[in-house]
Structure 1
Amino acid sequence: MPRVSRKKSSSGIYHIMLRGINRQTIFEEKEDRLKFLEVLSKYKNKGNFHLYGYCLMDNHIHLLVKESEEESISTSIKRISSSYVYWYNLKYERCGHLFQERFKSEIIDSQAVFLKVLRYIHQNPLKAGLTKDVLRSQWTSIREYIQKEEMVDTAMALNLFSLDRRTAMKRFIEHSRQRNDDRCLDLNNKKRLSDAEIMEQIRKIGLENTSGLQQMEKGDRDIFLSKLKELDGVSLRQLSRITGISKSVIHRVRQ
């Protein structure tokens, strides 16, 4: 079946979501997130698009961007994802796709929708139970709004609240903390499983303890690891810690 063409935004602004293939974790540790932000900044400058917001979750990314006249947003996202995946594959000794082949997007056609989506992006970690305060999220663009602007264009959102900086900031914070049921390109992500919950799943699959996993033949071990990787809310780093098997080995196991 042929692909349906993306809807064109009259404002040029889009909410973009990149997600790991088969819900795979795309950020294992701090270095990975820092690298993605470095890549994002590099191609923002090259493509000359505007970036209004971002959020880096374990297995997906949200971006709020305005397409430039010089380069389509599809081209910019392709450059960003290809560059990060190349680095990621080298680091974790893997090959192949990391992101779902086609990113998801929605058009932003009004100021109200713009502010709703920006809040949704910033509240992702909050709704996933990763933080208790949206302002304290480490891997979203909220910090550039309330601390120091680096690569995010904060003026557009703040000016929608007020042209007076102090008033705008006060209203922006109130808006960002406002409880809501907004659903924008929603993945219905669950909170990451605890080690105890993963151990319970291991027992359900048929293994009393992880020491037995290391004694298995490679084929049997890989089948078992494949089942663990299919669990929602589990990262490779966590599986490596629990099982004692290196992340690179777990990475290479096919689901």
Structure 2
Amino acid sequence: MPSQNTIKQYVDEGIYHAYNRGVEKRNIFIDTQDYKQFLRIINDILVDPQYRIIKKGEIPRKNYFNCIELYSYCLMPNHFHLLLKQQNAQDMQAFMRSLLTSYSMYFNIKYKRVGRLFQGIYKAAMVSTDDQLIHTSRYIHLNPVELKMLFEYYPYSSYQCYANQTSSNFVNTSKILTYFSNSLEYVEFVKTFNIPSKDVIGYIAID
């Protein structure tokens, strides 16, 4: 039987929680440079092309600025979470292929390894309701708690974009924040809502 969320529903303007782990649950981020490289690749393929920097002699990756909106993310040592919206039914598939192939090539060259880095094909669950959307974002931003870390200061998530502490070229906070009067209300929701978001989103959470 296929793993949960391996078989995906591809629809125009669909919103998804996309995620994957390292093969055998091994770490996919070893040091700070690895986290930054993963985010650098996302930036390269999601940033507005007018702000894109292509180094001399570099072959540019396909840009998905008009195809994918990234609402939230969190990178953990052995897995990652992305909350995103695709414009057309196949955009997410192409975006994820580009992202994971580029990062796998970087990782294998750096650590002199061969073979798969990720645990099979990425997983993705469609987000169908407003409640699922805001709770999936909360669930993603609370992931660092698993490491007994303060999620408010975790450097590899989009939480600080919502808390107005940092800006990002590729995170779109406006969609989630439409459900709150301001960013402070969202911050309070993440910190204090008394029902675990995983209980609300169910199958959308990582399996």
TM-score, scaled relative to structure 2:
0.80
Counterpart residue type for residue 174 of structure 1: E
Does the CA contact (< 8 Å) of 1:11 and 1:109 recur in 2? Answer: no
Q: CA deviation at 1:159?
A: 1.8
Deviations 1:81-114 (CA, angstroms, capped at 9, x unpaired)? 0000101111001111101121111111111110
1:25 corresponding residue in structure 2: 27
User: SS of the residue aligned with 2:37?
Assistant: helix
For the pair 1:44 / 2:46, whether they are aligned, the reply is yes
For the pair 1:93 / 2:112, whether they are aligned, the reply is yes
Q: CA deviation at 1:174?
A: 0.7
Q: CA deviation at 1:5?
A: 4.4
Higher fraction of helix: 1
Change (3 A) 1:112 1:138: same
d(CA) in 1 for partners of 2:7, 2:21: 19
Does the CA contact (< 8 Å) of 1:104 and 1:185 recur in 2? Answer: no
Please give the residue correspondences for 1:148-227 in structure 2 after superposition, counting only pairs within 5 Å. Answer: 148-150=166-168, 151-162=170-181, 168-178=182-192, 179-183=194-198, 184-187=204-207
Does the CA contact (< 8 Å) of 1:9 and 1:108 recur in 2? Answer: no
Counterpart residue type for residue 18 of structure 2: I
d(CA) in 1 for partners of 2:105, 2:195: 38
Please give the residue correspondences for 1:65-84 in structure 2 after superposition, counting only pairs within 5 Å. Answer: 65-69=84-88, 72-84=91-103
Q: CA deviation at 1:56?
A: 0.3
Q: Of 29, 32, 35, which aligns to 2:37?
A: 35
Change (3 A) 1:32 1:54: same
Does the CA contact (< 8 Å) of 1:16 and 1:105 recur in 2? Answer: yes
Change (3 A) 1:54 1:28: same
Change (3 A) 1:44 1:24: same
Q: Which of 1 and 2 has higher RCO (CA within 8 Å, sep 6+)?
A: 2
d(CA) in 1 for partners of 2:92, 2:31: 27
Deviations 1:200-255 (CA, angstroms, capped at 9, x unpaired)? xxxxxxxxxxxxxxxxxxxxxxxxxxxxxxxxxxxxxxxxxxxxxxxxxxxxxxxx
User: SS of the residue aligned with 2:71?
Assistant: strand
Consecutive aligned runs of 4 or more in structure 1 exceeding 4 Å deviation: 1-5
For the pair 1:58 / 2:72, whether they are aligned, the reply is no
Change (3 A) 1:109 1:2: closer
d(CA) in 2 for partners of 1:92, 1:32: 11
2:159 corresponding residue in structure 1: 142
1:238 corresponding residue in structure 2: none
d(CA) in 1 for partners of 2:141, 2:2: 34
2:55 corresponding residue in structure 1: none
Paired residues in the alignment total 180
Unpaired runs of 5+ in structure 2? Answer: 48-62, 199-203
1:131 corresponding residue in structure 2: 149
d(CA) in 2 for partners of 1:2, 1:104: 11
Unpaired runs of 5+ in structure 1? Answer: 163-167, 188-255
Deviations 1:172-197 (CA, angstroms, capped at 9, x unpaired)? 0111112432324235xxxxxxxxxx
Identity %: 28
Deviations 1:52-105 (CA, angstroms, capped at 9, x unpaired)? 000000100000011133952011101000000101111001111101121111
